[in-house]
Amino acid sequence: MKAIEIADGIHWIGANISTTDLFEGIWPIPQGVTINSYVIKGDKIAIVDLVRDWAGASTYLIDELKSLGISPKDVDYFVMNHLEPDHTGDLKAMFELSEKVEIITSKKGVPLVEAFYGFTERVRAVGTGDTLDLGQGKILHFYDIPNVHWPETMATFEESTGTLLPCDAFGSFGAFKGSIFDDEVSDADHKFYERESLRYYANIVGPFSNFVLKAIEAVGTLDIKIIAPSHGLVWRGDPGRIVNRYKAYANYMKDYAEPKITVIWGSMYGNTELMLRAVLQGIASEGVLTEIFRVPQDNISYILASVWESAGLVFGMPTYEYKMYPPMRDALTHIIHKKAMHKKVFRFGSYGWSGGAQKEFDGMIEKMKWDIVEPLEFQGGPTDADLDLAFERGAALAREVKQIPIKSKEFP
């Protein structure tokens, strides 16, 4: 691709990544991901965030620079908002192409530049309140936005164009399908990017939601006209749309959620599955939406996205050797690690010669602040009375979830 102008003197460069690799070595990206960098040109030239040498990204970046008539040796500053290697992987190679370039990063970024790439010279620390004048009216302002996504993360704001470059914040999975801009994609594609931004958030940024809210507050006073994150669309038509989305995502771990139930289940011989049907009928009797995942078949990345926004969760799994069915333990470990707090939760399942899953489940979720509907366990196969109870518990959970929408509609 050629560089694309997003504002006067500011161009997108970067890469549309299409690969069978997993993002962070964990998360599937069947629809791709973008790594966005930006060139800002005054009398001096800055590149804000770089790429890693992944699926040809480094070559694309240099070619896009060339399309602007810029060689890496012409660049004065690499502004590193965030040191995670998806945005810095080619820093060493790029740095060595220029004798004058200076690395600009946050105070907490400086030791990471040394740890990852060994550079201690031509590295400058900046923080909230600091500026960098590129000439020709292009002045960069820096804002610390720690933990969105790592502790050293900062955002860069170019004042004359009102362009905010916040790195991971306001980012998304999903490659570009033709345009990089929010005001040039169809409604159907907006729905696609919305799901992919939720999945990105739940997989990557979720545990740091309080910091996301602080970051939104920190940049909230700026006259932002364009939001140019390092993954996903550039928001110039309606930047408020992605900010509000992120506000909602951050509040999902507090007291805001969508009125739906994520059902996660696994069954060895079909007995837990029999009860699942009764639970689902109970939920359906109250007209509440469900999203259903089976473990280990379904990928945790998609389960997390659903869990993140749902007011209610159902876990259906048997006991396995005195403990939880292992694929469910794996899923629950991810859910707890990502801090999907404040849910309404029901768990059920069968056991053979001994129980034990419930005890382990209770211990794992102790700190999650979940409201628990009384669990249901049974030996062997469920009786008719068990199935009636399962229907009732499913319906009870659904009634609790239906209380949530009132709050939901008030947000943001």
**Burial letters for 366-382: b for 16+ Cβ neighbours within 10 Å, e otherwise?**
eebebeebebbbbeeeb
Dist. CA 284–CA 276, nearest whole Å: 12
Report phi then psi at 239, rounded to 5: -60, -25
Specify whether the CB–CB gap between 346 and 279 falls below 8 A. Answer: yes
Whether 176 contacts 12, CB under 8 Å: no
Residue 168 binds ligand FEO (CB under 6 A) = yes
Question: How far is the C-alpha of 264 from the C-alpha of 296, rounded, in Å?
Answer: 10
Quote the least distance from Cβ 153 to ligand FEO, whole Å. 8
Compare residues 49 and 386 and give the one whose CB is closer to ligand FEO.
49
Q: Do 83 and 116 contact (CB within 8 A), yes or no?
A: yes
Q: Minimum CB separation from ligand FEO for residue 163, in Å? A: 19
For residue 293, give both structure tokens.
């995942």
Query: Which residue's entry shows tokens 């896009």?
Result: 64
Contacts of 108 by beta carbon, 8 Å cutoff, 6+ apart: 146, 151, 152
Q: Which is nearer to ligand FEO, 168 or 386 (CB)?
A: 168
Q: Is 146 or 352 the residue whose CB approaches ligand FEO more closely?
A: 146
| Site track 214-253 with ligand FEO (rule: CB under 6 A), x = hit | ----------------xx----------------------
Assigned token pair, 22: 């997993």
For ligand FEO (CB under 6 A), the number of binding residues is: 8
CB of 210 to ligand FEO, least distance (A): 17
Decide whether 14 or 312 has the Cβ nearer to ligand FEO: 14
Closer residue to ligand FEO, CB minimum distance, 228 or 404: 228
How far is Cα 390 from Cα 263, in angstroms, rounded to an integer? 14
Which residue, 23 or 348, has its beta carbon nearer to ligand FEO?
Answer: 23
Residue whose CB is nearest to ligand FEO in the complex, by number:
84
Binding mask 175-214 toward ligand FEO (x if CB under 6 A, else -) reads ----------------------------------------
d(CA 102, CA 233): 28
Report in angstroms how near the CB of residue 205 gets to ligand FEO at its nearest.
Answer: 8
Q: How far, in Å, are 59, 221, 224, 313 from residue 289 at the CA level?
A: 46, 38, 37, 12
Q: Taking the complex as a whole, how short is the minimal distance between the CB of residue 216 and ligand FEO, in angstroms?
A: 17
Minimum Å distance from CB 117 to ligand FEO?
Answer: 16
Instruction: Report how far residue 314's alpha carbon sits from residue 299's, in angstroms, rounded to the nearest whole number.
Output: 17
DSSP state of 208: G
Gyration radius from the chain CA atoms: 24
Nearest approach in angstroms of CB 39 to ligand FEO is: 18
Tokens 């008539």, located at residue: 69
Among 149, 199, 245, 343, binds ligand FEO (CB under 6 A): 149
Which residues within the stretch 69-108 sit at the binding site for ligand FEO (CB under 6 A)? 82, 84, 86-87
* Residue closer to ligand FEO (CB basis): 86 or 102: 86
Nearer to ligand FEO, 50 or 328 (CB): 50
Return the amino acid letter for 343.
K
Q: How far is the CB of 89 from ligand FEO (least distance, A)?
A: 11
Q: Which residues bind ligand FEO (CB under 6 A)?
A: 82, 84, 86-87, 149, 168, 230-231
